Structures are given as structure tokens and as C-alpha cells.
Structure 1
Amino acid sequence: MKVETDDPKQVVLQVGNALKKLRKDKRLSLEDLSELTGVSKLTLGNIERGETNPTLGMLWKISRGLSIPLMALFARESNVNVSRAGQGLRIAGDSKAWIMEPIFQNASNEIEMCRAYIQPNSTYHPEKHHQNTTEIVTVMSGKITISVNEDSYELNEYDSISFRADSIHSYTNHSNDIVVLHIVLKYGV
């Protein structure tokens, strides 16, 4: 995970503190959490102490293991939030083809929103999301191919698609320009 903010170390510490709080709220030991997530106890401890910068894939494993939205690991408490494009938290995928900016997450952890930037001539294969999660994607600029299971869909600027996010899916940008997406994740029960 590459995090871009004014103070990246602060974000790593914030993720660690959020993970530790979530783990303790669920009354889990590091060993219990390791069994749930498939992430080693040592790595989880390092994340909680802010001593390591976890990958996006690792954070997905943790969020699925805890049955929480990914953005719950980045959540801040406030009554009013403003999200400005290109400012604040930015997370790069392991392949660098994908950059995500969290926008908002509602208090009940049912919905989260983000902006995503798909680099030119690249493909991003995200981890499967939580079971019964719906992903709603709107193309804000550019053109993209989104594959869900065996089917591919071409979307142009302002087109939208909705699909089960626990399906195998990918995003492919065949152009020489960055594609900007608006993504809403609706977590099922």
C-alpha cells in the first residue's frame, strides 16, 4: 500500500490504531485475528504498532476477516466531512495500476465511497470483496472495460454498472489517459 497524504506515517499509525481497536472490540487476540484473516500474527502486530505499511491486498484480507468495510480501517470521527479530489488519503494498489481515494463511509458501515484512478494501458484485479457486497461504478472520465466473472462490459464517461463485488472482477484501461471512477460499495447482511 502506498499512502499519499501530508503525513503518511500518521495514516499508517491511524490504520494501526483502528485495527487494534476493532480487534479489541471484537475481543480477539492477535492469534485469533491471524486465523480469521490469513495474515501472520507478527505482521498484524507490526501493523497495529504502525511499524509496517500494509499492502492493499493485506488490508482487504483483514477487512474480510473482521467482516468490516475496508474503509473502517481508515475511518475518522466527524459530523462534517469534505473530500477534495487529489487531496488527503490516496492508496495505490500493489500493481500501481490503481489509485484509490476514500471519500466517505456512513456510520453504520453499510456503504463506502471512493474515487479510483486507473493508470493508462493497465489492468487492476482487486481482491474479492465481502460476501453479498454490491459494487456500483460510474465512469467520471475516460472509457474502461470492467470484467465480472466471464463477461466484459465497455463503459464510457458517465456510464454506470452494478455487480456483486464478491465475484471475480477487473478493470482495464486500454487508453493512454487516466480513467477516473466513482465507486460505491454497499455491504450486504
Structure 2
Amino acid sequence: MDKKSTWESPELLSKQVGLTLRRIRNERGISLQQLTELTEVSKLTLGKIERGEANPSLTIIWKIANGLNIPISSLLVEKREVQISRKNEGNKIMSTDKSLALEPMFSTSGYGSLETHRAFLKPNSEYKADAHQDGVIEYVTVMEGRVNVRVQREVYELDKYDSIQFNADQEHGYINPGSVPAVLHFVMIYTNS
């Protein structure tokens, strides 16, 4: 059964994120106000997300995941027994400035301690990531193009198939200095889950 991918249908993504967020909030017995305090996202915005009325940006998704101390794929990926992740068929979430599209690849059982993503970074662009929750280790491999990875103030140049590992609970970012899109593969391990 083929379903329209959510990057083509933001309303499908919004509904999925909203239902999942409400389920997690209810499982934990926390109110919208408490979720606001945990995530630093307004109660109005969280309410709209839960009702599927808002299409949250990657920044908002990260704030929610960090506040709940869960991988972002817990909000974005539908859970199934056997999964195949095909390029451009999964959920995709855009950064606010549209420089980066993140495509979670697989969900994990429960809220999991590991997640994988594909990311597509536009040419001549930069995506700045806030610090993730404590204990997140990020592994990034460049699959296409060239990318400079900034961790705090240090910049590391990566070519195709080069990889980097760093603690992602600090400010970091990705710079595509080239004229073609870059494709990245992310593995994030949540050591405090």
C-alpha cells in the first residue's frame, strides 16, 4: 500500500506529529502547560500541533524532542515490524530557512536510544543546530557532495564518504560550500535514554 509521502503532504506530517505528541503527553500524564515549560514552545503552538493544525519546523520538532528527552524520530516515523526506508518516501521536515530537509529513516521500539536520518543540505547554505539533549552522540557521513561540520567554534571539512562523530549536546552546524546539494547520513545515539 503506497501512501503519499509526508514531505509532499505537510498535512499528513502535521497530523502524525500531533497524534504522536498527544499520545506521549498523555502517557506521561503531563499537561500542555507542563509541556510548554519542558519544551519552551508556546502552549498555543503545541495545541495547534496536537490538533494537526500547524506544520512544525525542524527547530520546533527538536525543541519538543529535547524537552521530552526523546529522539525526534519518535515524533516523525510510523512504527512497523519490518521497515524499508526509500529515498524521498519518508517523512521530511524542513528547517525554518529551508536550507536543510531531514528525513528520519527508521523508528525504534518505545522511544528508543538510536535514530537514523538522511538529510539534504541545499547548495551554498548553512544549517545551525541548537544543542541537543544531554548525552546525544551524533555520527554524520557525507554521502554526496562536500560538507563542513562546525562543532562549537571548530570546523571540520568532510568529503564524500567521510564521517565525523561528536557530542551533539553543544551548538553545531552544517555548511554546504558547494554548488550541488549535499546528502548526509545521521546516526544519533541517546546515551541518557
After TM superposition, the structure 1 = structure 2 runs for residues 20-31 of structure 1, keeping only pairs within 5 Å, are: 20-31=22-33
Using the size of structure 1 for normalisation, the TM-score is 0.94
Q: In structure 2, do the counterparts of structure 1 residues 17 and 158 end up closer, same or farther at CA, with 3 Å as the change threshold?
A: same
Secondary structure of residue in 1 paired with 2:179: coil
d(CA) in 2 for partners of 1:30 and 1:19?
10
CA RMSD of aligned residues (A): 1.4
Partner of 1:94: 96
d(CA) in 1 for partners of 2:139 and 2:90?
23
Paired AA for residue 48 in structure 1: E
Runs of 5+ consecutive residues of structure 1 not aligned to the other structure: none
Post-superposition CA distance 1:68-120 (Å, at most 9, x none): 11111123221011111122212111111111111013215100001111110
Runs of 4+ in 1 over 2 A off after TM superposition: 3-8
Is 2:100 aligned against 1:134?
A: no
Quick check: 2:123–2:182 contact (8 Å CA) kept in 1?
A: yes
Quick check: 1:113–1:182 contact (8 Å CA) kept in 2?
A: yes
Partner of 1:152: 155
- Higher mean C-alpha deviation, range 111-120 or range 34-43: 34-43
Is 2:157 aligned against 1:185?
A: no
Partner of 1:112: 115
Quick check: 2:77–2:104 contact (8 Å CA) kept in 1?
A: no
Partner of 1:56: 58
d(CA) in 2 for partners of 1:6 and 1:142?
24
Using the size of structure 2 for normalisation, the TM-score is 0.92
Q: In structure 2, do the counterparts of structure 1 residues 67 and 51 end up closer, same or farther at CA, with 3 Å as the change threshold?
A: same
Partner of 1:83: 85
d(CA) in 2 for partners of 1:101 and 1:77?
15
d(CA) in 1 for partners of 2:8 and 2:124?
29
Post-superposition CA distance 1:131-175 (Å, at most 9, x none): 110000011111111111121111111110000011111111111
Partner of 2:172: 169
Give percent identity, aligned residues only.
Answer: 41
